Chain A
Amino acid sequence: MEKGLFNRLQGELEAREQSEGLKMSDLLELSEPLSGLLNWMMRRGQVTFADVTAFLGEDEARTRTILAALRDKGFVREIEIRGLTQYRVRLAPKRGRALPSNLWQALAEKIENEEER
Chain B
Amino acid sequence: MPKIVSVHSFRGGTGKSNTTANVATLLAVRGQRVGVVDADIASPGIHILFGLEEDKMGHSLNDYLWGKCDIQQTAHDVTANLGNDVKGRVFLVPSSIKAGEIARVLREGYDVGLLNDGFRDLIQTLELDVLMIDTHPGLNEETLLSIAISDVLLIILRPDQQDYQGTGVTVEVARKLSVPCMMLVVNKVPAAFPTDEVRARVEQAYHAEVAAVLPHSDEMMALASAGVFVTRYPDHPITAALKQVAERLSRSG
In chain B, positions 10-58 with a C-beta closer than 8 Å to chain A are none
Rounded to whole angstroms, the CA-CA distance of A35 and B175 in the bound complex is 12
Rounded to whole angstroms, the CA-CA distance of A91 and B119 in the bound complex is 14
**Total cross-chain contacts (CB, 8 A):** 82
Rounded to whole angstroms, the CA-CA distance of A97 and B103 in the bound complex is 10
B107 near A96 (CB under 8 angstroms)?
yes
Interface flags for B105-117 (1: CB within 8 Å of A; 0: not) read 0111111110011
Rounded to whole angstroms, the CA-CA distance of A23 and B6 in the bound complex is 19
| Contacting residues, chain B, for A25 (C-beta < 8 A) | 144
Q: Which of B101, B112, B148, B149 contacts A94 (CB 8 A)?
A: B112
Q: A39-B148, A45-B117, A45-B120 are contacts. A110–B109 as well, Cβ < 8 Å? A: no
B110 near A28 (CB under 8 angstroms)?
no
Chain B residues with a Cβ closer than 8 Å to the other chain, count: 27
Does B173 lie at the interface of the complex (its beta carbon under 8 Å from any beta carbon of A)? yes
Interface flags for B72-98 (1: CB within 8 Å of A; 0: not) read 000000000000000000000000001
Does A102 lie at the interface of the complex (its beta carbon under 8 Å from any beta carbon of B)? no
Does B99 lie at the interface of the complex (its beta carbon under 8 Å from any beta carbon of A)? yes
| Contacting residues, chain A, for B144 (C-beta < 8 A) | 24-25, 27-28
Q: Which of B99, B111, B148 contacts A110 (CB 8 A)?
A: B99
Write the residues of chain B forming the contact surface with A, with a CB cutoff of 8 angstroms. 98-101, 103-104, 106-113, 116-117, 120, 141-142, 144-145, 148-149, 173, 176-178
